[in-house]
C-alpha cells in the first residue's frame, strides 16, 4: 500500500474544516475542564454537574460544527474513522493538529482566568495506571460504537447524533469520571496536561482512548456487516 500523503490545508474547505475542529475542541476543553476548575473552587457543580457539562458541550459542538467538519473534536475518533476506510488519511494530521491546538488554547485561557486553580481539569488515575488505561479503552470503545452507529442511516438518525453522542459522553463520565477522569479523548487530556505540566500519566489518555476507538471499528463491522459508516467529511448532522 502506498503511503498516505498529509493533505496540506490549501483549499478553503479544508481550512474551514480544520478551524471547525479547533473551535469544537476548544469549546469542549474550555467548558468541560472549566467545569472541573469551578467545581474544585466552589463545589457548586458536583460530579453530576461536571459530567453533564461535558455531555452538553459535546452535543452543542456537534450541532455547531458538524455541518463543516463532521465534529470529530477528538483525535481518537479521527484515527478510527480513517481506520474504517471512511476518512481520507491525508486529513488525519491536519484534524489532529487542529484539535490539539484548540485544546491547548482552551487550557491556556483557563490558566489565565483561574491563575490560582489547583487543577485545570487534567485527567489523572484515581487508582492504578493500568486500571485507568483499561477503563479509558472500554469507555472510548463504547463511545466510538455509538458514533459509528449514528453516522449511518436515515436523516432522522443524523439529526439526533448530537443527543446520542453527548448523552453517551455524559453517562460514561458519570460512571468513569471518579476513576480515570473519563477522558475518552487524547486532545482533551493533552491540552490541560501540557499547560499544567502534569504529564506523569498522560500516556494512559493517549493510548487508552485510541485503542478503544480502533477496536470499535471491527466490532461495528461484525454487527453491521457491509453497512459502512458515512465519511465524516460529510456532516454528522444531516
**Residue 176 belongs to domain with CATH number:** 1.20.1080.10
What is the domain extent for residue 153? 14-224
Quote the pLDDT of residue 14.
84
Mean pLDDT over 44-63 rounds to: 97
- The answer to the question of residue 124 being in a domain is yes
Q: CB of 137 within 8 A of CB of 212?
A: yes
- The answer to the question of residue 37 being in a domain is yes
Q: How many domains does the chain have?
A: 1
Separation between Cα atoms, residue 130 and residue 116, nearest integer Å = 31
Q: Is the pLDDT of residue 230 over 60?
A: no
Separation between Cα atoms, residue 116 and residue 104, nearest integer Å = 18
128 exposure class (CB count in 10 Å sphere: 0-12, 13-18, 19+): exposed
- The answer to the question of residue 202 being in a domain is yes
Quote the pLDDT of residue 13.
82
- The answer to the question of residue 233 being in a domain is no
- The answer to the question of residue 51 being in a domain is yes
pLDDT 10s digits, 91-126: 999 999 999 999 999 999 999 999 999 899 999 999
Helices and strands, number each (H, E), in the chain: 9, 0
Helices (DSSP H) in 10-120: which residue ranges?
12-42, 46-69, 75-83, 92-113
Separation between Cα atoms, residue 94 and residue 11, nearest integer Å = 13
Output the average pLDDT for the chain: 89
- The answer to the question of residue 122 being in a domain is yes
Separation between Cα atoms, residue 230 and residue 234, nearest integer Å = 7
Q: Lowest mean pLDDT: which of 130-144, 187-201, 217-231?
A: 217-231
Q: Lowest mean pLDDT: which of 1-10, 48-57, 60-69, 216-225?
A: 1-10
- The answer to the question of residue 20 being in a domain is yes
- The answer to the question of residue 92 being in a domain is yes
Amino acid at each position: 500500500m502506498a503511503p498516505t500523503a498529509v493533505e496540506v490545508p490549501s483549499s478553503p474547505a479544508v481550512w474551514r474544516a480544520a478551524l471547525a475542529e479547533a473551535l469544537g475542541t476548544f469549546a469542549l476543553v474550555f467548558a468541560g475542564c472549566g467545569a472541573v476548575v469551578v467545581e474544585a473552587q466552589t463545589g457548586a457543580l458536583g460530579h453530576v454537574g461536571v459530567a453533564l457539562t461535558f455531555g452538553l458541550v459535546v452535543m452543542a459542538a456537534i450541532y455547531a460544527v458538524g455541518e463543516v467538519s463532521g465534529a470529530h473534536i477528538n483525535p481518537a475518533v479521527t484515527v478510527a474513522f480513517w481506520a474504517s476506510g471512511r476518512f481520507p488519511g491525508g486529513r488525519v494530521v491536519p484534524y489532529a493538529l487542529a484539535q490539539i491546538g484548540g485544546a491547548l488554547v482552551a487550557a491556556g485561557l483557563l490558566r489565565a482566568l483561574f491563575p490560582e486553580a489547583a487543577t485545570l481539569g487534567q485527567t489523572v488515575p484515581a487508582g492504578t495506571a493500568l486500571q485507568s488505561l483499561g477503563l479509558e479503552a472500554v469507555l472510548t470503545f463504547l463511545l466510538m460504537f455509538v458514533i459509528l452507529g449514528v453516522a449511518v442511516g436515515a436523516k432522522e438518525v443524523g439529526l439526533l447524533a448530537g443527543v446520542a453522542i453527548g448523552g453517551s459522553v455524559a453517562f460514561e463520565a458519570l460512571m468513569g469520571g471518579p476513576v480515570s477522569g473519563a477522558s475518552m479523548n487524547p486532545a482533551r487530556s493533552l491540552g490541560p496536561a501540557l499547560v499544567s505540566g502534569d504529564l506523569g500519566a498522560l500516556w494512559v489518555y493517549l493510548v487508552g482512548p485510541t485503542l478503544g476507538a480502533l477496536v470499535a471499528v471491527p466490532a461495528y463491522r461484525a454487527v453491521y456487516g457491509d453497512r459502512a459508516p458515512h465519511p465524516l467529511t460529510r456532516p454528522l448532522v444531516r
